[in-house]
């Protein structure tokens, strides 16, 4: 979806400006009144009217310029100040009441809260190890979830085992909640398989690289669930960039018309690679659901409790036959889009620093400590478990076989093809050239 070069683009504004609810249509609402005042102020003489008419007839009017929308001056703060943002835990770790969503987390015990914290810490540790392995040449690519742990763990823990999840390529935390071994996520990024797990074993579909297409798969699957009479639900994950894809719009249409039991979970991490959200939409993303006839909710994506509550509510709606819901988890991509991306070319460090103050793990730890729900021994044990996970991931990836460089040429045609044979030979010569250099 990128239409301009990131190399030529200057870094975007600092953390203060963010897409919000400013709309140019609202600015033009008083236009008729302004025109009336201007008309009244003109000399009411026939001579002036004739002169004006003659001038208009002989003067060629310049094409009207499109109004440039004003840049929002402030981003919606995840502190409860934004009335449209569902939040149960502030960035400072303070619990706030919400009559609509408190019931969905009222039964959480201190063990449950510690479990959510553990999920986020271990997911972040796994993600950091995968990033390091890619930098060391062990993986071809990696899409980090850094900063989005609460959005993924909160929504993942809201699902039941009979619900079905359709991820993108960044839902490592949701995969963790669905009991997918983290090692299985890495085979595809090393190039040794197309996904190392059976989707039907955990009701967690294989990672989808094509942007937005998984929302169609999820909607179709949800329509099938409804026809089967099951009371399970489906979750489709996608990002703010994917919300501009036609596949997502088509999914919204079919899900609404057929009342499909699907939750569209959009992680708005503010950047579609190098495109900021304000270049994707003129209204908050969750409001798009109104045009399709189903509800949309914006939740603080760095608040694991709020995400858990809102996703539970949306899933209950789906299971009870009330149709689809759009959840916009308002969060931030702390790292690069993938390890092939350099975010310093299009965003400022102060923007990242502003979001670091809203870190999802830090705020839950503050709450646990202030509420006496966790002692220092818990955090020390978790740190040791985190390091153990990192070692296991390193050892497992390094024990994986090297990718088969020629597998791409297999199974393209059932009976082979002369062009494919030619390309295989060219690639073999290219690979051999590296061996010659190493042997010299």
Please identify every residue annotated as catalytic. 333, 337, 346
What single-letter DSSP state applies at residue 169?
A: S
- Comparing CA positions, the residue from 301, 341, 297, 167 lying closest to residue 242 is 167
The CA-atom distances, in angstroms, between 230 and each of 132, 202, 316, 397 are 43, 17, 13, 39
Tokens of 12: 């975007």
The CA-atom distances, in angstroms, between 428 and each of 53, 423, 432, 434 are 77, 9, 6, 10
Element (H, E) at 52: helix 46-58
- Cα separation, 162 vs 56, in Å, equals 70
- Cα separation, 172 vs 198, in Å, equals 16
Burial 338-349 (b: 16+ CB within 10 A, else e): bbebebeebbee
The CA-atom distances, in angstroms, between 41 and each of 38, 54, 119 are 5, 20, 68
Element (H, E) at 264: strand 262-268
- Cα separation, 204 vs 288, in Å, equals 26
């Amino acid at each position: 979806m990128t239409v301009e070069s990131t190399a030529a683009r200057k870094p975007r504004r600092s953390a203060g400006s963010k897409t919000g609810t400013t709309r140019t249509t609202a600015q033009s609402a008083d236009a008729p009144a302004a025109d009336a005042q201007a008309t009244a102020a003109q000399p009411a003489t026939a001579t002036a009217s004739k002169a004006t008419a003659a001038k208009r007839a002989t003067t060629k009017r310049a094409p009207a310029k499109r109004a440039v929308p004003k840049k929002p001056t402030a981003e919606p703060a995840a502190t409860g100040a934004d009335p449209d943002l569902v939040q149960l835990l502030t960035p400072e770790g303070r619990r706030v009441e919400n009559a609509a969503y408190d019931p969905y987390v009222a039964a959480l015990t201190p063990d449950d809260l510690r479990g959510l914290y553990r999920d986020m810490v271990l997911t972040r540790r796994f993600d950091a190890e995968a990033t390091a392995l890619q930098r060391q040449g062990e993986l071809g690519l990696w899409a980090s979830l850094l900063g989005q742990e609460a959005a993924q763990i909160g929504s993942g823990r809201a699902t039941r085992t009979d619900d079905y999840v359709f991820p993108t390529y960044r839902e490592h935390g949701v995969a963790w909640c669905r009991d997918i071994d983290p090692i299985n996520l890495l085979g595809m990024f090393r190039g040794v398989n197309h996904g190392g797990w059976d989707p039907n074993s955990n009701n967690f579909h294989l990672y989808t690289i094509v942007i937005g297409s998984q929302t169609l798969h999820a909607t179709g699957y949800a329509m099938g669930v409804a026809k089967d009479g099951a009371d399970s639900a489906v979750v489709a994950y996608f990002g703010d960039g994917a919300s501009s894809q036609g596949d997502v719009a088509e999914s919204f249409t079919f899900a609404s018309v057929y009342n499909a039991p699907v939750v569209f979970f959009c992680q708005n991490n503010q950047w579609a690679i190098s495109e900021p959200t304000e270049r994707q939409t003129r209204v908050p993303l969750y409001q798009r659901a109104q045009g399709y006839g189903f509800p949309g909710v914006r939740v603080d994506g760095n608040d694991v409790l709020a995400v858990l509550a809102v996703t539970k509510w949306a899933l209950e709606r789906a299971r009870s036959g009330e149709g689809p819901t759009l959840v916009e988890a308002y969060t931030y991509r702390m790292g690069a889009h993938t390890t092939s991306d350099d975010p310093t070319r299009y965003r400022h460090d102060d923007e990242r620093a502003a979001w670091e103050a809203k870190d999802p793990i830090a705020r839950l730890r503050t709450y646990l400590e202030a509420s006496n729900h966790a002692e220092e021994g818990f955090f020390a044990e978790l740190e040791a478990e985190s390091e153990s996970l990192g070692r296991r991931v390193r050892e497992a990836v390094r024990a994986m076989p090297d990718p088969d460089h020629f597998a791409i040429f297999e199974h393209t045609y059932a009976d082979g093809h002369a062009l494919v044979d030619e390309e295989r030979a060219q690639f073999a010569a290219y690979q051999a050239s590296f061996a010659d250099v190493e042997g010299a």
